[in-house]
Amino acid sequence: MKSYFKSQLIGLAVGFSDFCQYAVYTIVFLVAARFLKNVEKANEAENIFIAIFAIMFGAFSAGQAKQYGPSTGKGL
């Protein structure tokens, strides 16, 4: 019974972390859409989205790679 509640708690934590990631995507795209209202050139809009994707995917990848830091230190 104890493991059942632990698994439920872990499931909620994983779901919440996924929610946070997609909430950040939503907020960033909404802010970008506000900026794009004033942009007249399509090339500038493309550059804005390239920058958004580069920053977001870089940050999320760095966060995921960070979890292996202690294991790497032990391995060395």
Alpha-carbon gap, residue 33 to 23, rounded angstroms: 15
Torsion of CA 64, 61, 63, 65, to 10 degrees: 50
What is the number of structural domains in the chain? 1
Q: Residue 41: give the domain boundaries.
A: 25-66
pLDDT tens digit string along 2-53? 888 888 999 999 999 889 888 988 998 888 888 777 777 767 777 878 888 8
The verdict on residue 32 lying in a domain is yes
Apex CA 71: angle with CA 19 and CA 7, to 5°?
Answer: 40
The verdict on residue 18 lying in a domain is no
pLDDT tens digit string along 48-71? 788 888 888 888 888 888 777 777
Amino acid 46: pLDDT: 78
The verdict on residue 47 lying in a domain is yes
